Amino acid sequence: MKTMRKGSLYQVVIPANWKNVTIDHILKNHWHAPKKLIHSMRMDKDIKVNGEYFPWDKSLSPGDLLQITLFKETDYDVPPSYGDLHILYEDDHLIVVNKTAGIDTHPNQPGDTDTLANLIAYHFQAKGESCRVMHIHRLDRDTSGAIIFAKHPLSKAILDRLLIERKVKRTYLALVHGRLKQKKGTISEPIGRDRHHNTRRRISPSGQKAVTHYKVLEDRGNMTLAEVVLDSGRTHQIRVHMSHIGHPLAGDTLYGGKPVFRRQALHAARIAFPHPLTGERIECEAECLDDIGLSK
């Protein structure tokens, strides 16, 4: 599938293997765009074919040029702030960055200007891109690693769906206290809020389903370096689950870890997902930028 950007337009040349497809079919069945967004595109007349408005239920022909107004000028929803930004991948539709520890993913209250989202807004501004900063998932303030942000609503909607469908694969490195007896294992325990502590989570029968897979990478005597993959994305999931089995993260004092580092030893080291518009596989490796022993 040949695609290109021209100004505010995202252009797709209809490939030969797309027989009898319509605009409606592409949006609903190829990209699985949400109904509300499809309705908005229809009302705003955002889609043309070969430069002309075209019935959404009429078949397109191979070689037709589908033109979608995706790149609309939009005010930044967070104030741009200058700072170091470690970009792993970027195109017209999304950006993947390596978050450092000690910074929030996005503002939590009006006036926050020192979050990752603020740095990305500055980066967009410097490039002359006017688009919102839309995170697809989050990392705790003191967890580092790869995070995806979308640049326009269609990309955001598709990436949100891919995340729900578990097609966004995230791999973490964690340094935990003690020696894990099993070389690999799965923790399947529901996680809920701790009624006695505002920020803590805990294992709770009435909590949300949470599944964590781990594999030992290196035995470090009184600590173990593990690779961790999630089937779900609950708040503090890795921290709660590893603490539950008696191996809290090093530095994670909230869940029983010793203060051997200034933060919990957790890093989102790899992320892989299909590109929301083209389906191409995107894979990013994020190096841990501070020295807390999270390297193999």
pTM: 0.94
Please report how the helices 153-164 and 35-43 are oriented relative to each other, as an axis angle in degrees rounded to 10: 170
Tokens for 119, please give them.
């740095």
| Average pLDDT across the chain, whole number | 94
Nearest CA among 221, 229, 210, 218 for reference residue 183:
218
Quick: pLDDT tens for 219-275: 998 999 999 999 888 999 999 999 999 999 999 999 999 999 999 999 999 999 999
Quick: pLDDT tens for 152-180: 999 999 999 999 999 999 999 999 999 99
User: Catalytic residue numbers?
Assistant: 140
pLDDT of residue 22: 97
Report helix, strand or coil for 42. helix
What percent of the chain shows pLDDT beyond 90?
Answer: 89
Q: How confident is the model at residue 75 (pLDDT cuts 50, 70, 90)?
A: confident
Report helix, strand or coil for 44. coil
* Displacement of CA 255 from its chain's centroid (Å): 25
Dihedral angle sign, alpha carbons of residues 72, 78, 84, 88:
negative
Domains in the chain (CATH in brackets) are 2-69 (3.10.290.10), 87-167 (3.30.2350.10), 171-268 (3.30.2350.10)
Q: Which comes out higher in pLDDT, residue 10 or 294?
A: 10
**Euclidean distance between CA atoms 254 and 9, whole angstroms:** 48
Angle at alpha carbon of residue 21, lines to 20 and 22, rounded to 5°: 120
Burial 151-188 (b: 16+ CB within 10 A, else e): bbbbbbbbbbbbbeeeebebbbbbbbbeebeeeeeebe
- Residue range 115-141: average pLDDT? 95
Residue with tokens 């040029």: 65
What percent of the chain shows pLDDT beyond 70?
Answer: 99
Q: How confident is the model at residue 295 (pLDDT cuts 50, 70, 90)?
A: low
